[in-house]
Structure 1
Amino acid sequence: MDLNTLKEFSAIATEGSFAAAARKLGMPKSTMSKRIQDLEAALGVRLIERTTRRLNLTAEGALVLARAERILADAGEITRALSEPDGAVRGHLRIAAPLLFGQAYLGQIVAASRRLYPDLTLEIVLTDSQPDLIEEGFDAAIRVSHPADSPFVSQTIARSHRVTVAAPELCDLVIDDPADLAGLPILLYGIGLVQTWHFQQGKLDKSVRLAGGLAMTSYFALRDAAIGGAGVAQMPLFLVERDIAEGRLMQLLPNWACPAAELSFVYPSPQALTARLRAFRDLLVQAFPDGTLHGGVLRPGG
């Protein structure tokens, strides 16, 4: 399998026919057809379904196309790096990120990227799953609590602190101990109506198992429910700090800290850290100079 064959296969998929691809690349249609047949034979799968009226990629063909385009892009990057060794930021990045982080911050971060690096194109996929970087063609991912034994390279971006909050009308009674939450209506993030909340005070750890009357998989919706007086919620500080400052929410148990979550920038290997990936990573780190999401230079919606 060589780069020319991959380039021809990509052209066929883009142009929609062997004839159009051959014209675009300036080569005989018969030569191109033979090379694709050889590629199919080498892989042991059919890549293209041919009919008298149209051409369609098979599922295997679509997979090969995605990989081929990535290989061709990397080959182009190598060529540019050798011919223009100026460290310029150009090319394409495909990044996966958690939904909440992406909604709160990435719009501003990618806007900065576009201003600074107009030759860099970005594909940002917001998902709370953890896609396989290699199999799904991602250059990197932003992940919460990335496992220490992962084979991938991981660099901490920032820590996300959480607080326990409720609307002022629910805070008539001062509570000093996490166990006191059991007497209050509870709002849960996630699936299921029973959850364990963890608290720390110095070296003291305390866990409280709570049953809630409402569970949601959106922190934005959960914040609105808390502001509306539906109950007590444990929320990322960056998402509710303005609501606390302006009196829409009050922090409960201020002397008890919730364990922080760590956001990491993850990529396959040290060799994968291209100039464009390094530039994007540096933008992320610079956005949170104190190492916390709530103390960063960006503000959700700001």
Structure 2
Amino acid sequence: MDLIALADFNLVARHGGFGRAARATGRPKATLSRRVTELEASLSLRLFERGARNLKLTEEGRALYERTAALLTEVDETAAAIASGAETPRGRLRISAPLLLSQTAMGKIAAGFALRHPEVRLEITAEDRPVDMIEEGYDLVIRVNPDPDETLVGRAFLRDRLVVVASPDLTRPRGELPAPAVVRGSSSPETWNFMTSKGPEKIRIEPVLSLSSLIMVRDAVRAGVGAARLPISLVDHDLADGTLQHWGDVEGSEIALWALYPSRRLLSARVSAFLEYLKQIFPNATPDELAAYISK
């Protein structure tokens, strides 16, 4: 494939037309049109629907643009960095992060990174769904306990665990009596198994509230409506000041936050800089570090 023709196709697709691309870049309109036509011929595909007054990407053209735009940008940035003799992070950095981490820490993380690297335009989307990095144009995703994926590489930069907590005014039930519980989502196990200083325990629960956000769950537990299973980093200071009491650690509840990027891409300077910044903030990757960072 002719990379120059591919780059010209991306210019036209990004600017929405041959004329606009020519005016924005100073390239002759006829040259851009010829290059795109040659690319279409080499691929045996129509990449644009050409109307009398407008230009529209075909389905195949849109797929090609979405898959190649970020790669060409990385090649350009790498070449510029090599030519300047320095790997200065610059350009757009798109990150998808889990909702809870975004609500508690990502704003502060983003601000600190932006102050350190002003030439990077950071964009963070908070969502819990598994995004397709290539299709949706993300440079980095943060995922909780991700499934193995041979197309992604990265590292765990934080670890956490679940604990059972409740208001000091709520007495832990004994025997077969159920404990009022605040749960996340509509499904929850009927019993909770957790480890105490005296050994393993099990209690039946009766959900009294079902909430979609762990922040909401924590606030409801603070109000005394029931017990909940929450990340220790989210309630560490509540436990320290007595706002909440610790019933036990949930067995097998280790949580790992991973920063991942596509294995087939060049690792850009901006991605490397963000990974290094996470390592500086959380050098030991412990729940205590995250709790302390959130409370600052």
Fold shared, TM-score > 0.5 on shorter chain: yes
Relative to the length of structure 1, the TM-score reads: 0.83
Q: Is the 8 A contact 1:146 1:264 kept in 2?
A: yes
Say yes or no: does 1:299 pair with 2:293: yes
Q: 1:161 to 1:77 in 2, by over 3 A?
A: same
Q: CA deviation at 1:219?
A: 0.4
The residue correspondences of 1:207-226 to structure 2 (distance < 5 A) are 210-226=205-221
Q: Is the 8 A contact 1:287 1:298 kept in 2?
A: no
Q: CA deviation at 1:281?
A: 0.7
Q: Distance in 2 between matches of 1:258 and 1:180?
A: 24
Q: Is the 8 A contact 1:200 1:259 kept in 2?
A: no
Q: Aligned residue pairs: how many?
A: 296
Say yes or no: does 1:235 pair with 2:230: yes
Q: Distance in 1 between matches of 2:289 and 2:85?
A: 37
Q: Is the 8 A contact 1:7 1:72 kept in 2?
A: yes
Q: Deviations over 1:269-292 (max 9, x none)?
A: 397433322221111122223322
Other-structure match for 1:8: 8
Other-structure match for 1:110: 110
Q: Deviations over 1:200-257 (max 9, x none)?
A: 469x766666452332221011112212222110111222223333443222237x76
Say yes or no: does 1:267 pair with 2:261: yes
Q: Is the 8 A contact 2:166 2:245 kept in 1?
A: yes
Q: Is the 8 A contact 2:94 2:123 kept in 1?
A: yes
For residue 187 of structure 1, what is the amino acid of its counterpart?
A: V
For residue 227 of structure 1, what is the amino acid of its counterpart?
A: R
Q: CA RMSD in A?
A: 3.1
Say yes or no: does 1:280 pair with 2:280: no
Q: 5+ unaligned residues in a row in structure 2: which ranges?
A: none
Q: Distance in 1 between matches of 2:154 and 2:177?
A: 38
Other-structure match for 1:155: 155
Relative to the length of structure 2, the TM-score reads: 0.84
Structure 1 runs, 4 residues or longer, greater than 4 Å off:
148-151, 179-182, 204-211
For residue 232 of structure 2, what is the amino acid of its counterpart?
A: L
Other-structure match for 2:92: 92
Q: Deviations over 1:166-219 (max 9, x none)?
A: 122213x5x6xxx868521111123324455443469x7666664523322210
Q: CA deviation at 1:105?
A: 1.1
Q: 5+ unaligned residues in a row in structure 1: which ranges?
A: none
For residue 114 of structure 1, what is the amino acid of its counterpart?
A: A
Identity %: 36
3-state secondary structure, aligned to 2:234:
helix
3-state secondary structure, aligned to 1:294:
helix
Q: Deviations over 1:95-141 (max 9, x none)?
A: 22211112211111111111111112222232212223334333222
Q: 1:54 to 1:271 in 2, by over 3 A?
A: closer
Q: Is the 8 A contact 1:102 1:126 kept in 2?
A: yes
Q: Distance in 1 between matches of 2:155 and 2:23?
A: 46
Q: CA deviation at 1:76?
A: 1.1
Other-structure match for 1:72: 72
Q: Distance in 1 between matches of 2:94 and 2:104?
A: 19
Q: Distance in 1 between matches of 2:187 and 2:291?
A: 35
Q: 1:269 to 1:55 in 2, by over 3 A?
A: closer
Q: Is the 8 A contact 2:153 2:260 kept in 1?
A: yes
